[in-house]
A and B are shown apart, each in its own frame.
Chain A
């Protein structure tokens, strides 16, 4: 009796579900998976904005024929466990033909293995840990440069441009933060720099004074941090309060206006390396910047908005050119030559972009200013 009732219910919901889609219009979904809530939600919300812009534009031009693209946003809360749950949800939706995400390397690596089960395309605009593309998965692509490039770039910059030879390194024990810090250390030491100490901290901690007092006595010339802005903002503030007035150098994880909001005046003079050229220096990116300002006049652009826009654009081109066949999308992207807002992007056999520029920015008067 109960079972037959369930069957009836199932049929009913099935009928109702079908009724909602207007005939003749097919829906294809793109998933964007990133932290929409939690500590680093500001960056995740930015990624969602970038993807939204690309999808809306594609729908407006009508180049996909009778197909309507839909963006399905998922929240991984920057938590690897949650990322795996969400990835399983994503592969169970057969309308989804590609994934844009995740933000954190620690989330991207386990989630990529789940997408690989269905050979579902995954393009990350932000995960920089080299391990992601070393897993031998065919479906994984990365639009941003990796930590080995970024970490050693940071080390060279400190040695060559800042002329400083001693550094204390702190990282947040994540795949991204620790990876970046280790690459920095390797390059810094191989070129004769001295690493005074190498310490991990816990994400979510607020008190770093005990560690910073110890580092202060080691008298480093700079502080290198591998991790995200929420911890780094507190570290730079506490370091300066304690009388350790050295600049903090970090990676793309702190390159956001939120960093300056949390760290306050103490962030003045800190450096952040960032993947790619500043969008305002690329002629192709100018239209993107203008469109962004027109659509979100009140919002500060976050670092990955343009990258997500670019990744989504590539996926849309793949959907268009492969005649909407999900199985061919991965093949198409592996051979893509995409001229977009970041310049021309092609991928190597691992799935990493060959467009590998790094820029460095310094905080001046409460803003990140491009140095080189």
Chain B
């Protein structure tokens, strides 16, 4: 049973971790909490939903290619939406007080939710089941191929992201902007491009988390982003907001804690337990588990 709960927690954690990366990357570079990110997640799920329900069923040998296209297009769609949101609602407020873009983000979130509710549907939509799911028995534990797939894809994307940030020139530019906007600009970095890139990547990861969430739970709705959004944000804070490694591990930790709390203690209070752990971590390490001491900027 313990291993089964661990598998459930890791799958849930993979989705939280992908989702949390968007919060943490934006915070790292703009010091703002992008509350509209939960709606990017929802829109990503809907883009995947449309493509899955429009396209006919292909021969099984095309299935991997077909899903690859769906994932790439959902990532792109969600990422471009995030870039647009930044350009229209955060960029004009970049010089304003820190509260202004935050409130703008809440506005965007309410707007997108209601837009989908009014134009698509106010009801839950069943997610098309086109991915064949097999059940495996490993060490007496039942694991579905979808759980392995979600975990594998999340790890793969995180590795790619880490390589991108630590090895490429654009990644270096991102780190520079996160450290200091003005100095980065003096070094010839176009900070607008870098900020857009952060929103594109963060939004894309959020979008793919949405598609995975839809595939895993089998139903989506216009307000589906809210609760996982809060959890993913919690994961980002738990790991140390602004820290990419922290968001990844924070997501997994939160997923596992939730699964174990629901399995061994009480399913109705699993959120209480997860948030109590967050509070405890913040009491003893206000910067999160992996948060680093940041020298005060003067």
Contacts and interface: CB of A to CB of B under 8 A. Distances in A.
Interface in A21-41: 37-39, 41
B129 to A, nearest CB: 6
B268 interface: yes
A264 interface: yes
B219 A210 contact: no
Contacts of B5: 210, 213
The size class of the interface chain B forms with chain A is 35 or more
Interface stretch (B76-84, B198-206, B254-262): B254-262
Interface stretch (A201-209, A307-315, A328-336, A345-353): A201-209
B192 interface: no
B218 A234 contact: yes
B268 A210 contact: no
Most buried by B among A200, A202, A210, A233: A210
Given A234-B219, A241-B144, A210 B8 contact: yes
Given A233-B219, A234-B218, A211 B124 contact: no
B277 to A, nearest CB: 16
29 contacts: A37-B122, A39-B221, A41-B122, A173-B268, A200-B267, A200-B268, A201-B267, A201-B268, A202-B271, A204-B227, A205-B227, A206-B224, A206-B227, A207-B258, A208-B267, A210-B5, A210-B260, A210-B262, A211-B263, A211-B267, A213-B5, A214-B262, A233-B124, A234-B219, A241-B133, A241-B135, A262-B124, A262-B126, A264-B126
A217 interface: yes
Nearest to A211: B267
B124 A206 contact: no
B43 interface: no
Interface of B: 1, 4-5, 8-9, 12, 117, 122-124, 126, 129, 133, 135, 142, 144, 213, 217-219, 221, 224, 227-228, 258-264, 266-268, 270-271
A281 B5 CA distance: 46
Contacts of A173: 268
Contact of A237 (B218, B264, B271): B218
A261 interface: yes
B122 A262 contact: no
Contacts, number: 83
Most buried by B among A39, A42, A209, A211: A209
Contacts of B258: 207, 210
Interface in A147-195: 173
B142 A210 contact: no
Interface residues of A, number: 32
A230 interface: yes
Given A39-B124, A209-B259, A258-B124, A214 B218 contact: no
A243 interface: yes
Interface of A: 37-39, 41-42, 173, 199-202, 204-211, 213-214, 217, 230, 233-234, 237, 241-243, 258, 261-262, 264
Nearest to A208: B267
Contact of A214 (B126, B263, B271): B263
B171 to A, nearest CB: 33
B212 to A, nearest CB: 12
A207 B8 contact: yes
Contact of B267 (A37, A41, A210, A242): A210
Nearest to A238: B217
A199 B268 CA distance: 7
A230 B124 CA distance: 8
A210 B263 contact: yes
Of all A-B residue pairs in the complex, the 9 with the closest CB atoms, nearest first, are A210-B262, A200-B268, A211-B267, A210-B263, A210-B259, A209-B8, A206-B217, A213-B4, A261-B126
A321 to B, nearest CB: 38
Nearest to B213: A206
Nearest to B267: A211
Nearest to B261: A210
A206 B227 CA distance: 9
B12 to A, nearest CB: 6
Contacts of A234: 217-219
Contacts of B126: 261-262, 264
A79 B221 CA distance: 18
A175 B263 CA distance: 24
A202 B218 contact: no
Most buried by A among B117, B124, B221, B258: B124
B41 to A, nearest CB: 13
A206 B218 CA distance: 10
B122 A264 contact: no
Given A39-B124, A210-B267, A242-B142, 11 more contacts: A41-B123, A200-B267, A202-B268, A210-B270, A214-B1, A214-B264, A230-B124, A233-B219, A243-B142, A261-B124, A262-B124
